[in-house]
Amino acid sequence: MTLMAFGAFLATVGACDLLRADRDDVSVLRQLLMVAVGAAGITAFLAWAGDGVGGSVLLGLGLLSGLAMWVVGSAGALRRGPRGGALRSVAFGGLGVGAVVSLLGVGALEEWLEWPTRLEETFLARWPAYDVVVAAGALLLQLATANIVVRLLLDAVGVPATTNEKKLKGGRLLGPMERIFIVGLGAIGETTAAAIVVAAKGLLRFPELQTSTREGPSDVTEYFLIGSFASWLLGLAGVAMIYLA
């Protein structure tokens, strides 16, 4: 049960981030909506998996705090770009708070968790509830949330995505597809195939990189390398979660 609360936290964050998958500038109203949706998700999870009111409330407050820090910090940091250093720290701190609270608060969950009666006849019941929750967190992480993490890292090192993605287009869509492919192949033990996917991306992007270099000084190569490696690491983190579940 060690990773179940962490998987639930990542699944909640990933689901909330889908509400802003196509934008960096997020209004306060949308941020409040994301936090409200996350609060509802966390409450539903703990109502199902919690083992006692006191522990569940403390765990829920910790997870909600981490989610709120991530939503507010990342939205502000993306809006300010490379100048949003303090807000980036808040955002990554929120993920850290969620991770620490979920790993330390695992004792607040039931030791042997079963699917609710209404789900016993669905396809989900073919797998243990614990495995499904962890896998859901690993997969939802790869969608909008991983894109945001990569963009924050690029801003932090001074090669902002908002500038360089105009030269290497399709990153918002290609990144999640690539990471999901890596997680899927890694989960079934096909790590060699995942490595081929990684190599293929470099070959496909090479002509665009050459064109950008010929046009004059550019950050696009650094943008591609840092963004790609960060994206691959997030995909591998999802594989590791599934293996450790």
Query: Radius of gyration (Cα) for the chain, nearest Å?
Result: 19
pLDDT bin (cut points 50, 70, 90) of residue 171 is: low
Whether 8 and 62 have beta carbons less than 8 Å apart is answered as no
DSSP codes, 64-106: HHHHHHHHHHHHHHHHHGGG-HHHHHHHHHHHHHHHHHHHHGG
Q: Tell me the CA distances in angstroms from 151 to 5, 189, 199, one per residue in order.
A: 26, 29, 22
Instruction: Determine the average pLDDT of the residues in 198-224.
Output: 63
Burial of 158 by CB count in 10 Å (0-12 exposed, 13-18 middle, 19+ buried)?
A: exposed
Whether 182 and 194 have beta carbons less than 8 Å apart is answered as yes
pLDDT score of 39: 96
pLDDT bin (cut points 50, 70, 90) of residue 169 is: low
Burial of 127 by CB count in 10 Å (0-12 exposed, 13-18 middle, 19+ buried)?
A: exposed
Which is it for the CA torsion 80, 75, 67, 164, positive or negative? negative
> Which tens digits make up the pLDDT trace of 104-149?
988 888 777 777 777 777 777 778 888 889 999 999 999 999 999 9
Strand partners, 121: none
pLDDT score of 150: 92
Q: Tell me the CA distances in angstroms from 221 to 158, 161, 195, 206, one per residue in order.
A: 13, 12, 20, 10
Instruction: Determine the average pLDDT of the residues in 205-211.
Output: 58
User: Whole-angstrom Cα distance, residue 60 to residue 45?
Assistant: 9
User: Whole-angstrom Cα distance, residue 190 to residue 176?
Assistant: 19
Strand partners, 109: 50
Q: How many domains does the chain divide into? A: 1
DSSP codes, 155-178: HHTT--HHHHTTTSTTHHHHHHHH
pLDDT score of 217: 45
- Domain ranges, residue 220: 4-244
